[in-house]
Structure 1
Amino acid sequence: MEVLRLKLFQETACYKKPAAFKVGETYPLPPYSTVKGMLHQILQADKYIPMGICIQGSYQSRIVDYQKHYFFKKNKTTDFPLITDGLALDFAYSDITAMPIYMHLLLDVHLIIHVRAKRDIMLLIKQGIEDGVPFSLGRWEDMVRVDECRMVELREADEDVETVLPIYWPVLLDPEEELPGVPYRLNWKYEIIQGIRQWQKIKVRYVKADEQMWEPGTVDPDGYPVIFPKEMGE
């Protein structure tokens, strides 16, 4: 199987958890929906494009940032959160309130992302990156450096495989074959029902590096294990 492999670097990153409000907690790796959104941005797509994604990577440490966040009290308002810090201006908002919150940031993030899709889609992603299409991963302010973008061939390993980097590993049906790790339910794609996004979630474990799998699996030319959750389709 031929897939597209991306090697990315971010000096800082925050992949904010949806339920984190008073503190901006981050996932240890970008969730599937965040990476899918980045790829759709590169493709400049206006609809969902079927694809499979495998995410693994590491970071040096966590740091904490202190930020001012604005919150809307109503669904519809004419107020606009104009930042006037340091200026001799002051605005009175009726429908907006502000609150300082702690943001958890990852420092020096290295990611390896494998993308499975139709060949023409993978080539369009590759071309978009090479052409400099603007995109982000997580927050807009967390810039992404692309260290590699190329097609690679996957193969079945001849012997048991170990994880090279921390990785999102889909939860399997057989509990005896589960890899130990931190469980997450990650957003994948959504449908809008009565004006509200209803997310399809994928159960995974955040598995640390050097964890041995139960049986030989699929790896890329450099020995990175690759697995695509069944919920993403064939």
Structure 2
Amino acid sequence: MQPQQVFDKGYIGGFHFRTINKEMEDRWSIIVDDDAGDYFGFTTRLCTVELLVDRYYTLHICVEYENDFAQIFKAFNYPPVYPSLGRWEDSIRIDDVKIVEVKEELTNGKLNAYTWLPVEYSPVEKIGSVWKIPTYYKIVRDKRRFEYIRCYLGERGALASYRLDEDNEQLILI
């Protein structure tokens, strides 16, 4: 299934400058100041946006610290901000949030969906693109700094080792 294309009026720019002069006023229809006393310029235009539609995902989350569990569970049931898949345009609907048990033993078989396969757990050298998938982040100077895991994109039907949950859903923890 291909992403759906829609037209949208969006903001482009984010050009950083220190002083407002005639050139900046002519170039940027929207100028905002930041906390450091500098400025950012934006303009609007008609643009094409690709949206992901009719996608169904199952997300398994394992917590390192048990006291984080209740907070994460509550955030999925009552999101503090409208959830998205990274871009604000890719809004999502959460149909179900539940607690499941994960079986410890690994199962070998064919993947039933596209899945991120961490490079470090891959038993053989793969040929193809390696993706950097953002995982954890820390706030550094009011910005998110992500840690990344290098992964292959495992296609449906590819052989892999994975765990099963109590509903026999496949999962690979990265």
TM-based fold match above 0.5: yes
1:169 paired residue number: 117
Deviation at 1:149, TM superposition (A): 0.9
SS at match of 1:176: coil
Question: How much identity, in percent, do the aligned residues show?
Answer: 18
Aligned ranges 1:55-66 → 2 under 5 Å:
60-66=1-7
1:219 paired residue number: 164
Specify the code of the residue in structure 2 equivalent to 1:66: F
Deviation at 1:204, TM superposition (A): 0.7
2:49 paired residue number: 103
Specify the code of the residue in structure 1 equivalent to 2:158: E
2:12 paired residue number: 70
Q: Tell me the C-alpha RMSD between the 2 structures.
A: 3.4
Further displaced range: 202-211 or 141-150: 141-150
Further displaced range: 61-70 or 133-142: 133-142
Specify the code of the residue in structure 1 equivalent to 2:5: V
Q: Which has the higher contact order (CA 8 A, sep 6+)?
A: 1
Unmatched runs of 5 consecutive residues or more in structure 1: 1-59, 79-90, 230-234
User: Separation in 2 of the partners of 1:148 and 1:93?
Assistant: 41
User: Separation in 2 of the partners of 1:198 and 1:127?
Assistant: 24
CA change 1:70–1:217 in 2 (3 A) is closer
Matched, 1:207 2:148: no
CA change 1:162–1:75 in 2 (3 A) is farther
User: Separation in 2 of the partners of 1:93 and 1:120?
Assistant: 44
What per-residue deviation string (whole Å, max 9, x for no partner) do you get for residues 108-143 of structure 1?
121111101133322332234434644311344544
Query: Does the 8 Å CA contact 1:156/1:217 hold for their aligned counterparts?
Result: no
2:38 paired residue number: none
CA change 1:64–1:198 in 2 (3 A) is same
Mark the structure with the bigger radius of gyration.
2
CA change 1:222–1:184 in 2 (3 A) is same
TM-score by length of 2: 0.67
User: Separation in 1 of the partners of 2:112 and 2:146?
Assistant: 30
Query: Does the 8 Å CA contact 1:115/1:122 hold for their aligned counterparts?
Result: no
Specify the code of the residue in structure 2 equivalent to 1:169: L
User: Separation in 2 of the partners of 1:166 and 1:99?
Assistant: 35
Aligned ranges 1:78-117 → 2 under 5 Å:
93=30, 95-117=41-63
Aligned ranges 1:1-234 → 2 under 5 Å:
60-67=1-8, 68-75=10-17, 93=30, 95-117=41-63, 118-131=65-78, 133-137=80-84, 138-157=86-105, 159-172=107-120, 176=124, 178=126, 182-188=129-135, 189-190=137-138, 192=140, 198-213=145-160, 216-229=161-174
SS at match of 1:102: strand
Deviation at 1:71, TM superposition (A): 1.4
TM-score by length of 1: 0.52
